């Protein structure tokens, strides 16, 4: 009889530990989801500023159609992403396209003096900072979550409970390090 009570106590303790582990996994997964939602809010804010920025530059540099199209296409591609890895790749391309847009804008002193353009530039800079902070928070949440499901006892139970490794949000900056090629066609 004592063995039965001891066995039931052990089963109860194991069950309670599994419940606690499951709840901890859920909390970490929810933190990741919440952090990603914050990243998406900032990315949307950035994408919402871009058409106004393109419009402002286009008013001064209408002949730079290729740059405007590139920014527009990169923005559209970034809006269609579904995962952090794809979003990171698309945002890297969008960032490079914006770099080329600003390089074009530098050639127009009147544009640089325009108050609306300077406000848009300032808002975009603030948004870039917010994206960086949100990305850091998201990546920290993913690190904690991934560590939880890849270490014992999570590694044993995470898979059967349906928890999988999350992707980090790492924007590739290599294309942005390259100087943009700016050409002005002077032909009539």
- Give residue-wise pLDDT tens across range 103-116: 888 888 888 888 88
Q: Whole-structure pTM over 0.85, yes or no?
A: no
Q: 182, 103 in Cβ contact below 8 A?
A: yes
- Higher pLDDT: 64 or 99? It is 99
Cβ–Cβ under 8 Å, residues 93 and 127: no
> What 8-state DSSP symbol labels residue 166?
P
| Residue pLDDT, tens place only, 116-150 | 888 999 999 999 999 999 999 999 999 999 999 99
How many residues are listed for the chain in this entry?
Answer: 188
> Over 90: is that where the pLDDT of 79 sits?
yes
The predicted pLDDT at position 188 comes to: 43
Map out the domains of the chain with their CATH numbers.
Answer: 32-177 (1.20.1440.20)
Residue 62's pLDDT is 78
Tokens coding 8:
């039931």
Angle at 172 between CA 118 and CA 26, to 5 degrees: 105
- When the pLDDT of each residue in the chain is averaged and rounded to a whole number, the result is 89
- pLDDT for the residue 173: 59
**pLDDT score of 187:** 45
Structure tokens given for 39: 């990243």
- Look up residue 72 and give its DSSP letter: H
């Amino acid at each position: 009889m004592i063995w039965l009570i001891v066995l039931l106590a052990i089963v109860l303790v194991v069950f309670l530990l599994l419940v606690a582990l499951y709840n901890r996994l859920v909390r970490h997964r929810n933190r990741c989801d919440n952090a990603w939602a914050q990243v998406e809010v900032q990315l949307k804010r950035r994408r919402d500023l871009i058409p106004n920025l393109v419009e402002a530059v286009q008013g001064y540099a209408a002949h730079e159609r290729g740059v405007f199209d590139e920014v527009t296409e990169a923005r559209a591609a970034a809006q269609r992403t579904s995962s952090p890895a794809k979003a990171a790749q698309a945002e890297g391309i969008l960032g490079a396209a914006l770099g080329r847009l600003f390089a074009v804008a530098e050639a127009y002193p009147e544009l640089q003096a325009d108050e609306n353009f300077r406000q848009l530039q300032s808002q975009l800079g603030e948004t870039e900072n917010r994206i960086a902070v949100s990305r850091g928070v998201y990546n920290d949440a993913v690190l904690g979550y991934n560590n939880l499901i890849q270490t014992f006892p999570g590694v044993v139970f995470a898979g059967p409970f349906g928890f999988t490794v999350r992707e980090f949000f790492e924007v590739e900056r290599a294309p942005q390090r390259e100087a943009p090629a700016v050409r002005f066609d002077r032909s009539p």
